[in-house]
Every structure is written in C-alpha cells, then in structure tokens.
Amino acid sequence: MSHQTVIVLDFGGQYNQLIARRVRECGVYCEVKPYTTPMEQIRAMNPIGIIFTGGPNSVYDPKSPQADPAVFTWGIPILGICYGCQLLAHNLGGRVTAAQDDSAREYGKTQTYFDTGCKLFRGLPETGVTWMSHGDYMEKVPAGFTLAAHSDNCPNVAIADEARGFYGVQYHPEVNHTQHGTDMIRNFLYEVCGAKGDWTMGDYKETAIRQIREKVGDGKVLLALSGGVDSSVAAALVAEAVGNQLTCVFVDHGLMRLNEGDEVEAAFAKWDINFVRANAEDLFLSKLSGVSEPEKKRKIIGEEFIRVFEAEAKKIGQVDYLVQGTIYPDVIESGAGDAAVIKSHHNVGGLPDYVDFKEIIEPLRMLFKDEVRQLGRELDLPEYLVMRQPFPGPGLAIRVIGDITKEKLDTLRLADFIFRDEVAKAHLEGTMNQYFAVLTNMRSVGVMGDGRTYDYTLALRSVTTTDFMTADWTRIPYEVLDKISVRIVNEVPHINRIVYDITSKPPATIEWE
Ligand code: XMP
C-alpha cells in the first residue's frame, strides 16, 4: 500500500483502539502493534511517526514493558501518551516516581493550560479540559525537553523536545472527555510527522479491489451473507472485484425483520454475482416448533444455519476462497495482528470448516466499524444497510418469548416495524444504539370499542451504549412513546398492551432471551 503509516505501540492501555481510530479520523493510516514487535519489523513498515500508548504499569518497575532503545535514536517522531510519556522521560534521562500525595496523582477531568507556541498545541485554545488517569508523575523532565502544558497541580502535563520530534502528554487525548484531543493528535501528525492525509476510503476501496483480483485470479469465492453491515460491505467489495466468480449465500431463516430479506437481496441486484437465497423458513420453524427455552432455540438455529449453508456450498462445487467480514477490533482483541487465518472464521457466524477452500479472504481486517460503514457508502450500498443496528444471529426467535409460531413472528415484525418507523420520523436514531420490540408470552385484559380483549403484551426496548457490554436504557421522549403505543395497538392485531423496558445492562441484558 502506498499510504503513509503511523504505528501505535501498545503498552497495554485500555484506550489503544481509540488512539488508532483518532489517527485514522485525521486521514492517516495507522496500525496497532504490541510493544514487543521487533524494531526491524516496525522499520520495514516505514512509519512517519510512532505513538506510545498508556498502560497500567509503572515505568520504574523492572518488569514493566519497555520500548526497544533503538526507537529513540532512529530519528522518528514519537508521541508518548500517559505511560508512553513516562516511558519517554524514563528512557531519556528524566525521573518518574510514584505520586506521594493526592496532589500529584491525577484522575478525571482536569483544567489544563497549553503552550500554543509548541507545535503540538498550535492553533488550539490556551486552556481546556483534559482527561487524566495516572498515579505516577515526572519528578524530573529529561534534558532537552521543555514544558508544554500544565495544570493547577502539575507543572509538566506535556513535555516537548521539538528538535528531535519527541512529545509526551500525561493526559489521554483520545477520549471524548478531553477537549481538542483529536486536534492535538492532528498537530502531531501534520505539524510534526509531515502527514499528507492520504488515507481515504476511496483509495482503500481501489487498492483492496486490485488486491482481491490479484489473489483470486479466476478462482471461485464464497461468502455467507447475513444482511449485517460487515458481511454486506465485504460482499459488495468482493462483488466489485470479481463479479460472478463470487457466490453469496444468504440463509433466510424466516426470523428476519419486516422486508429484511428482500432488502438485502435488492441491494445486491446491481452486481453480476451469484446470489443464492436459501429460503429455509419452513425448516427453521418446524425445528423450533414447541421450543421455548432460549438456549435451545439458539442451538437449533446455529446448527440449522450451518446445515443449510453447507448444502448450498456443496451445490456450488469447488470453492477456492471463503470471504469473512472480520474487522480490526476483532483482530486487535484476538491479541495477534498476524493470527492464523484458519482460526478467525470461527468467530463469524460459526461457519463450517468442511467447505473445501484454499484460503480465507478478510478484506475488512484492517478497518474499524465506522470505516466499514464509510466503505459501504463508497460502494453505493443503501444507507439503511450501511447504518444498520446490530441484529442477533438467531433473529426474532429470541424476541418472541416462549414458543415461536409464524403468526407470532408476523405480529412482532409489524410492531417492530412501527417502532422503527416512529423513531425515524422523530429523528432519534442517533440517540439509540439498538432498539426493537419483544413479543412477551403474557396476555392481559383490555377493552377495544365496546368489547373485551385478551391479548399479548409487547415490550419496547432501546439502549444507548458504545460497546454493548454495558448499556443504559434510552430516555425516549414520552410523546414519541405515546405515538408508538397508539399506533401499535391500533394497527397490530393481538397486541393490546405496550410496556417500555427501563432496565440497564447490567443487571439486565439487551436482548430478553
Ligand atoms: P445481550 O443480550 O447479551 O446482547 O446484552 C449484546 C449484543 O449482542 C447481540 N446478540 C447477538 N448477536 N448472535 C449475535 O450475532 C447472538 O446470538 C446474539 N445474542 C445477542 C445483541 O443483539 C446485542 O447487540
């Protein structure tokens, strides 16, 4: 690839992915590498700058992770963040010690004053809030460094050796709590490292298409399309590269939302690819008949999915390549940037090992989720596909509580559609990361017209979250909830009561089953 690269050297901090994302948001390609990566390997990547991340250790601890000293004499600009800053100081003649009292230990939002004459803070306001989280402090700043920012408690929040291009900040510029954090990173990239801003999704698309063509030659490629963002974008990219050498298998288990299967199929109609929609609704519903235990439902769906996929793959015959929609956070979290490819396919939809293929292609392996969405737009995928909220593999089967029937699924589909429709009309999508309806197995008495009803209770669920590991319930305005409730009970047969789920995760989970 021809673009400039910045290396984020990972010392175990919790925000390392965020640092890389910020760099890429600034239009500069960036990769996260473990601090143990041999210096020759890093030099071979020809980076324009290096960022040392934070980390939980103390630099003066003999067992703490250390940088290869060669990095300090190579002549490459370095930005050290938190632990990374202390690492710079420790290695270049400064002294870092444990804070003896609370005034030197800093945590949380801190008013900070910047020297805007320093390249790092050029063009930024002279003061702003930064996010601190450190128990050690720099007792002595190394020779050659000047102080470039301070707080009320700490004289050396940032240090700079402009001649060598070495900078260190005690705070975390990558987190949202820090004001102008991304601007500071941009200054490091453009003012110090000489970045040109050559990382664009348009370029990425062209390069990826060329590479896929070179690799695949005239071979056959198979992809399991779920309708989710990652597999859809991977499919669109490979379709653009190799057209009808690609077969997309879309297993329609009948547990999708309203019109979802048709929408996915329509989105791929413009490419000359082999699109197989395996209509397996009857099969799935018969296997699920009478099953009400959530884990059993999941197991049945997982197994049948693989069986259907396998049967379709067999019909296609010899397949050379399997495409997976693995994205960069999966790669970083697996702890090894160069993990064996054969392992990675287990984490995407649990696809079988026994499809006979030579190699796996992972064209999104280096992209963050927001970049995947951008790439989808470059490939002209419709916005509703690109911005799709997460949808669980078992689909609506885990949103119909208790046993599943086609009628219940249809009821839920319509109610869920109305919920989403009203959210869109109220322009609330940006505040809700995942939202859906759940058909409970509880019935209650109602009155409609002059008659008594005895029908189902529908629950609405919406959460606000970034990582989906913890989540807060969304404060949907009452008037929007009211509209949704009125519409659903009027338009959807067999629902006479609506409740809104106001539990966060934990203790609840996002899905009900
Ligand atoms: P929970 O309910 O555990 O869900 O709070 C966290 C996130 O994971 C999604 N989810 C799934 N995704 N297969 C998936 O692909 C599944 O079996 C599954 N179960 C839950 C859920 O929608 C939420 O985004």
Task: Please give the Cα distance from 76 to 89 (Å, whole number).
Answer: 16
Lowest-confidence pick of 51-55, 137-141, 348-352, 489-493: 348-352
CA of 295 to the centre of ligand 1 (A): 13
Q: What is the mean pLDDT of the segment spanning 217-244?
A: 95
| Contact status, residue 501 vs residue 460, Cβ threshold 8 Å | yes
> Which pair of tokens denotes residue 399?
């949103």
| Contact status, residue 433 vs residue 466, Cβ threshold 8 Å | yes
Reported confidence tier of residue 450, pLDDT bands at 50, 70, 90? confident
Whether 329 has a pLDDT exceeding 90, the answer reads: no
Q: What is the mean pLDDT of the segment spanning 163-189?
A: 95
Phi/psi region, residue 229 (left: phi>0; alpha: psi -120 to 50; beta: rest), is alpha
Neighbour count for residue 315 (Cβ, 10 Å)? 10
Whether 68 has a pLDDT exceeding 60, the answer reads: yes
Whether 213 has a pLDDT exceeding 70, the answer reads: yes
CA of 288 to the centre of ligand 1 (A): 19
| Contact status, residue 136 vs residue 99, Cβ threshold 8 Å | yes
Q: Whose CA is nearest to atom 14 of ligand 1?
A: 392
Task: Please give the Cα distance from 416 to 155 (Å, whole number).
Answer: 56
Q: How distant is the alpha carbon of residue 391 from its chain centre?
A: 14
Q: What is the mean pLDDT of the segment spanning 302-311?
A: 88
Please spell the DSSP secondary structure of 351-398, one letter per residue: --S-S--SEEE-TTTT--HHHHHHHHHHTT--HHHHTPPP--TTGGGG
- State the pLDDT at residue 94: 95
CA of 511 to the centre of ligand 1 (A): 7
Reported confidence tier of residue 348, pLDDT bands at 50, 70, 90? very low
Quick one: which H or E segment has residue 446?
strand 434-448
**Between the CA of residue 173 and those of 115, 132, 445, what are the distances in Å?**
16, 9, 56
Task: Please give the Cα distance from 92 to 141 (Å, whole number).
Answer: 9
Whether 313 has a pLDDT exceeding 90, the answer reads: no
Whether 102 has a pLDDT exceeding 80, the answer reads: no
Lowest-confidence pick of 67-71, 259-263, 337-341, 429-433: 337-341
Lowest-confidence pick of 322-331, 421-430, 434-443, 449-458: 322-331
Whether 344 has a pLDDT exceeding 70, the answer reads: no
CA of 359 to the centre of ligand 1 (A): 28
pLDDT above 90: percentage of residues in the chain: 78
Q: Is the CB of 393 under 6 A from ligand 1?
A: yes
- State the pLDDT at residue 276: 95
Q: Which residues contact 58 (CB under 8 A, 6 or more apart)?
A: 64, 86, 96, 98, 135, 136
346 is catalytic: no
pLDDT above 70: percentage of residues in the chain: 94
**SS3 category, 331:** helix
Q: Which residues contact 409 (CB under 8 A, 6 or more apart)?
A: 254, 255, 396, 400
Q: Which residues contact 51 (CB under 8 A, 6 or more apart)?
A: 6, 7, 8, 9, 19, 23, 78, 79, 80, 81, 84, 188
CA of 294 to the centre of ligand 1 (A): 13
Q: What is the mean pLDDT of the segment spanning 29-53?
A: 96
Total number of residues shown for the chain: 513
**SS3 category, 115:** coil
**Between the CA of residue 96 and those of 70, 138, 159, what are the distances in Å?**
21, 4, 13
- State the pLDDT at residue 317: 83
- State the pLDDT at residue 333: 66
427 is catalytic: no
Instruction: Report DSSP state, residue 191.
Output: I
Reported confidence tier of residue 1, pLDDT bands at 50, 70, 90? low
- State the pLDDT at residue 113: 97
Lowest-confidence pick of 351-355, 387-391, 443-447, 478-482: 351-355
Tell which one of 326, 473, 510, 513 to mutate to probe ligand 1, the residue whose CB is within 8 A of the most ligand atoms: 510
Q: Is the CB of 510 under 6 A from ligand 1?
A: yes
**Residue type for position 10:** D
172 is catalytic: yes
Task: Please give the Cα distance from 237 to 364 (Å, whole number).
Answer: 9
**Residue type for position 272:** D
Q: What is the mean pLDDT of the chain?
A: 91
Quick one: which H or E segment has residue 463?
strand 451-464
Q: Give the tens place of pLDDT for each residue, 254-301.
A: 999 999 999 999 999 999 999 999 999 999 999 999 999 999 999 999
The residue whose two tokens read 């402009």 is 162
Task: Please give the Cα distance from 425 to 476 (Å, whole number).
Answer: 13
Q: What is the pTM of this model?
A: 0.80
Query: Which among 30, 106, 154, 172 is annotated as catalytic?
Result: 172
- Higher pLDDT among residues 310 and 292, named by residue: 292
Q: What is the mean pLDDT of the segment spanning 405-411?
A: 98
> Which pair of tokens denotes residue 55?
């980390």
Q: Is the CB of 511 under 6 A from ligand 1?
A: yes
For ligand 1, what atom is nearest to the CA of residue 389? 24
Tell which one of 468, 470, 472, 504 to mutate to probe ligand 1, the residue whose CB is within 8 A of the most ligand atoms: 468
Reported confidence tier of residue 99, pLDDT bands at 50, 70, 90? confident
Reported confidence tier of residue 341, pLDDT bands at 50, 70, 90? very low
Rg (CA), the chain: 27
| Contact status, residue 15 vs residue 182, Cβ threshold 8 Å | no
Whether 440 has a pLDDT exceeding 90, the answer reads: yes
Residue 164 phi/psi, 5° resolution?
-90, -10
Instruction: Report DSSP state, residue 258.
Output: T
Task: Please give the Cα distance from 26 to 20 (Å, whole number).
Answer: 10
Query: Which among 174, 312, 371, 513 is annotated as catalytic?
Result: 174
| Contact status, residue 400 vs residue 408, Cβ threshold 8 Å | yes
Lowest-confidence pick of 60-69, 134-143, 194-203, 218-227: 134-143
Look at residues 10, 461, 4 and name the one whose alpha carbon lies nearest to residue 197. Answer: 4
| Contact status, residue 462 vs residue 435, Cβ threshold 8 Å | yes
Q: What is the mean pLDDT of the segment spanning 53-69?
A: 93
Q: What is the mean pLDDT of the segment spanning 388-402?
A: 94
